[in-house]
Amino acid sequence: MSERVLEALKSQFGGAILETHAQFGDDTAIVDAKRWKEICQFLRDDPKMSFDMFVDLCGVDYPDREPRIEVVLHLYSTARRHRVRLKTRVGDSEMEGVEVETITEVWPGASWFEREAYDLVGVTFLGHPDLRRILMYPEFEGHPLLKDYPANKAQPLVPYRTEEEAGRPLEKLAPFGPDEGMPFGRHPTHGEN
């Protein structure tokens, strides 16, 4: 059934559909990043497509390939009972141009998934209403799911801030007490003691 979706995409968007394939029951279209949002809108709004369920979105790093980053989207149609995987490729080996339009206007549920891809892989979703880190703290340097991210990289330690210092409610617990957590000086980021 999803083969018809791939054929409809090729018919509607021509050269913007860079490649299609089916593997392990998953029909996939790789699309031009410049037409990403337009293609998503078509998949949702066209009555023959009716992709009303956003399932998943993530970023995948292929450091030895250009474009380096692949944005992967899974969709399902509850009315038509077909599914499709949509991919687009962005960025170069130096992580320049790792950006694509947000699809939060098409599927609002994509918001947190786009934030996760931004946080962990470094994809900028243009027009996203609240693009900021979702898993890492704001001062975290880099994107930990990039294949060339150094696993032993020490991150900047952020001092504990009170609500008065921050000027707003922080809604967080106080730091570990002396009998909780890993003792200072024994954590790998603290070096030798």
The pLDDT of residue 193 is 45
Is residue 139 a part of any domain in this protein? yes
Is 182 contained in some domain? no
What is the token pair recorded at 128? 């996203």
Q: How many domains does the chain fold into?
A: 1
Q: 20: domain CATH number?
A: 3.30.460.80
pLDDT digits (tens, 9 = 90+) for 15-43: 999 999 998 878 999 999 999 999 999 99
Q: Measured between alpha carbons, how far is 98 from 123 in angstroms, rounded to an integer?
A: 5
44: confidence class by pLDDT, cuts 50, 70, 90: very high
What is the predicted pLDDT for the residue at 23? Answer: 83
Q: Which of 16-20, 112-116, 117-121, 166-170 has the lowest mean pLDDT?
A: 166-170
Residue 76 belongs to some domain of the structure: yes
Tokens, residue 36: 């990403």
72-110 pLDDT, tens digit each: 999 999 999 999 999 999 999 889 999 999 999 999 999
- Buried/exposed code over 142-155 (b: 16+ C-beta within 10 A; e: otherwise): ebbbbeeeeeeeee
Please check whether residue 193 lies inside any domain of the structure.
no
Predicted confidence (pLDDT) at residue 48 exceeds the cutoff of 70: yes
Q: Give the pLDDT confidence score for residue 40 in this predicted structure.
A: 98
Backbone angles phi, psi at 152, to 5 degrees: -100, 15
pLDDT at 62 over 90: yes
Domain annotation covers residue 168? no
Does any domain span residue 77?
yes
Average pLDDT, the chain: 88
d(CA 18, CA 24): 20
Dist CA 139 CA 154 (whole Å): 12
The pair phi, psi for residue 134, each rounded to 5°, is -120, -25
CA dihedral 47, 42, 125, 63 (to 10 degrees): 110
141: left (phi over 0), alpha (psi -120 to 50) or beta: beta
Task: Please indicate, yes or no, if residue 180 is contained in any of the structural domains.
Answer: no
Domain hosting 6: range is 2-145
Give the range with max mean pLDDT: 20-29, 63-72, 155-164.
63-72
Q: Distance (Å, rounded) from C-alpha 48 to C-alpha 39?
A: 14
pLDDT value at position 161? 72
Among candidates 59, 71, 54, 69, which has minimal Cα distance to 110? 54
